Copies of this chain bind each other. A is one copy, B any other.
Amino acid sequence: MQRILSTELPMHPGEQVTIAGWLHRRRILKQVAFLIVRDAAGLAQVVVTDPATRAEIEAISEESVIEVTAKVSVNAAAPAGVELISPRVRVQSAVSVPLPLELHRPELTATLPTQLDHAALALRHPTRSRAVRVAAAATEGFRSALAAQRFVEIHTPKIVASATESGANVFALDYFGRPGYLAQSPQFYKQMMVGVFERVFEVGPVFRAEPHDTGRHLAQYTSLDAELGFITDHRDVMAVLTSALAGMAAAVEPWAALETPSEIPAVHFTEALKIAGAPEDEPDLAPAHERAVGAWAKEKHGSEFVFVTGYPMAKRPFYTHPDPADPRYSNGFDLLFRGMELVTGGQRLHRYEDYVTALDGDVEPYAGYLDAFRYGMPRHGGFAIGLERFVARLLEARNVREVTAFPRDLHRIAP
Contact = CB atoms under 8 A, between A and B. Distances in A.
Interface of A: 1, 3, 20, 22-23, 39-40, 63-65, 92-93, 95, 97, 99, 117-121, 123-124, 129, 132-133, 135-136, 139-140, 143, 147, 150, 152-162, 171-176, 178, 180, 182, 188-189, 192-193, 195-199, 203-205, 207, 209, 211, 219-220, 222, 230, 232, 350-352, 367-369, 371-379, 387, 405-406, 408, 410-411, 413-415
Given A371-B415, A405-B154, A378 B220 contact: no
Nearest to A374: B97
Given A63-B376, A192-B119, A413 B159 contact: yes
Given A120-B375, A376-B93, A378-B93, A230 B193 contact: no
Contact of A147 (B118, B140, B153): B140
A1 to B, nearest CB: 6
A99 B375 contact: yes
Contacts of A372: 120-121
A306 to B, nearest CB: 27
B95 A374 contact: yes
Given A95-B374, A376-B93, A378-B93, A197 B152 contact: no
A136 B120 contact: no
A388 to B, nearest CB: 9
A211 B161 CA distance: 19
B155 A135 contact: yes
Contacts of A93: 350-352, 373, 376-378
Given A93-B351, A367-B414, 6 more contacts: A1-B232, A120-B375, A123-B196, A136-B152, A158-B207, A171-B174
Contacts of A158: 158, 205, 207, 220
Contacts of A205: 155, 158, 204-205
A405 B377 CA distance: 18
Given A161-B414, A171-B175, A173-B171, A195 B124 contact: yes
Contact of A198 (B40, B139, B180, B405): B40
A39 B198 contact: yes
A160 B219 CA distance: 12
A366 to B, nearest CB: 9
Q: 6 tightest CB-CB pairs across the interface, nearest first?
A: A368-B415, A173-B173, A120-B372, A63-B376, A40-B198, A136-B153
Given A193-B405, A205-B158, A371-B121, A92 B378 contact: yes
A414 B160 contact: yes
21 contacts: A40-B197, A40-B198, A40-B199, A65-B377, A95-B375, A118-B371, A120-B368, A129-B196, A129-B197, A132-B196, A133-B197, A156-B405, A156-B406, A158-B158, A159-B171, A160-B414, A162-B414, A171-B174, A171-B180, A176-B411, A189-B406
Contacts of A124: 195-196
A143 to B, nearest CB: 8
A414 B136 contact: no
A155 B120 contact: no
